[in-house]
Amino acid sequence: MTVLYECVHQGERHFGLGAPEDTVLRLYPLGDTDLRAALLAAGGDTEAFIAAVTEGRTPVEVPPADVHFRPPLLPESVGDAMVSGFMATHNVKIDDSTQTQPNWFFKGLGDVLKVPGEPLRAPAGSVALTEEAEVVLVYVTDEQRTPQYAGYTFGNDLTDIGRFKRHNGHLSYAKLCDAGVAPWLFLGTPPRHVTGDVTIARDGVPAWEGTFTTGIKALHYGLRDMMSGLFAHEALLHPGRVHYVYLGADRSSFHSGFTMADGDRVEMRFTTHGVRLSNPVSAP
């Protein structure tokens, strides 16, 4: 599986092709290359994409500590990126009240995406915050206003679930928190099975631990139907817009009676894919 990532090294933009566990990064100078346009031009042909973006470039090798990672394919203008997701999509959350189409929510524009190490902000007065370990699909909208699937990554959909539980009409408010996102874009079909674990530390000591299962097999809804239903809305289809779509989670610390607090650190390990997310929570 090819993994694409972007970062800043010595003040300059670079990209790399590798794996999340790499201890040495092979970076190519980005220059004026538009990775989003290159992916669209390749039409899903990963080998053609790699050849197009690496030809004539000499890579440098650096340790991960020497770079600052960026969210995958994030446009220079954060207004050209849209972060959203679906709620209650997993089989473990299905009951007699299940709808034929899952609720969709808007989290924000590109500036709500936070890579590992950056704080996840929640609104002042949040009722009860929880983490949600999720698969994130990334789409780039072409000039014909068609969102083209680019790949997938993983994220933490920080949510004020307490506000939603207090008033289920307030889902839109409950979701207006930052979203953790891994910088690695997997250039392949969405994963069928993903497992991992979460540790929430308070004052440097684990305060809650749990496991999760996600991926396409865990969804109650058909992915094709979910995405076609979403992208049937013309208001979302501005050419060049990048969509980051969070596919929902199974269970979280809230379901165990735990509530996060300001300064807690959430660490998610997507063990099936070698991805680790660690972010402090900022909840004034």
pLDDT for position 93: 76
Instruction: Looking at the structure, tell me whether residues 93 and 51 fall in a common domain.
Output: no
Q: Is residue 76 part of a domain?
A: no
Show the 3-state SS of the chain: CCEEEEEEECCEEEEEEECCCCCCEEEEECCCCCHHHHHHHHCCCHHHHHHHHHCCCCCEEECHHHCEEECCCCCCCHHHEEEEEECCCEHHHCCCCCCCCCCEEEEEEHHHEECCCCCEECCCCCCCEECCEEEEEEEEECCCCCEEEEEEEEEEECEEHHHHHHCHHHHHHHCCCCEEECCCEECCCCCCCEEEEEEEEECCEEEEEEEEEECHHHECCCHHHHHHHHCCCHHHCCCCCEEEEECCCCCCHHHHCCCECCCCEEEEEEHHHCEEEEEEEECC
User: At which of 70, 98, 119 does a domain end?
Assistant: 70
Range of 148's domain?
82-282
Instruction: Looking at the structure, tell me whether residues 205 and 88 fall in a common domain.
Output: yes
The strand order across the sheet containing 120-121 reads 120-121, 275-282, 265-270, 194-202, 205-214
List C-alpha distances in Å: 94 to 72, 227, 236, 255. Answer: 31, 19, 28, 15
Q: Token pair for residue 231? A: 């992208």
Instruction: Looking at the structure, tell me whether residues 202 and 234 fall in a common domain.
Output: yes
pLDDT by residue for the chain (284 residues), tens only, comes to 899 999 999 999 999 999 999 999 999 999 999 999 999 999 999 999 999 999 999 999 999 999 999 999 999 999 999 999 999 898 987 776 667 788 899 999 999 999 999 999 999 989 999 999 999 999 999 999 999 999 999 999 999 998 988 888 888 899 999 999 999 999 999 999 999 999 999 999 999 999 999 999 999 999 999 999 999 999 999 999 999 999 999 989 988 899 999 999 999 999 999 999 999 999 98
Instruction: Looking at the structure, tell me whether residues 29 and 52 fall in a common domain.
Output: yes
Q: Is residue 150 part of a domain?
A: yes
Instruction: Looking at the structure, tell me whether residues 47 and 86 fall in a common domain.
Output: no
Q: Is residue 77 part of a domain?
A: no
Instruction: Looking at the structure, tell me whether residues 245 and 126 fall in a common domain.
Output: yes
pLDDT for position 96: 61
Q: Is residue 213 part of a domain?
A: yes
Q: Is residue 94 part of a domain?
A: yes
Instruction: Looking at the structure, tell me whether residues 190 and 101 fall in a common domain.
Output: yes
User: At which of 70, 96, 128 does a domain end?
Assistant: 70
Q: Is residue 104 part of a domain?
A: yes
pLDDT for position 271: 98
Instruction: Looking at the structure, tell me whether residues 147 and 114 fall in a common domain.
Output: yes
List C-alpha distances in Å: 206 to 155, 180, 197, 209, 284. Answer: 20, 19, 13, 7, 21
Instruction: Looking at the structure, tell me whether residues 125 and 195 fall in a common domain.
Output: yes
Strand partners, 86: 104
Instruction: Looking at the structure, tell me whether residues 122 and 235 fall in a common domain.
Output: yes
pLDDT for position 101: 82
Q: What letters, b where the CB count within 10 A reaches 16 and e where it falls short, cover 60-98?
A: eebeeeebebbbbbbbeebebbbbbbbbbbbeebeeeee
Instruction: Looking at the structure, tell me whether residues 231 and 133 fall in a common domain.
Output: yes
**pLDDT tens-digit map of 67-81:** 999 999 999 999 999
Q: Is residue 235 part of a domain?
A: yes
Cα 10 from chain centre: 26
Instruction: Looking at the structure, tell me whether residues 27 and 167 fall in a common domain.
Output: no
Q: Token pair for residue 139? A: 């789409």
We report the CATH number of the domain holding residue 170 as: 3.90.850.10
Q: Work out how many domains the chain is built from and give that number.
A: 2
Measured between alpha carbons, how far apart are the two ends of the chain, in Å? 40
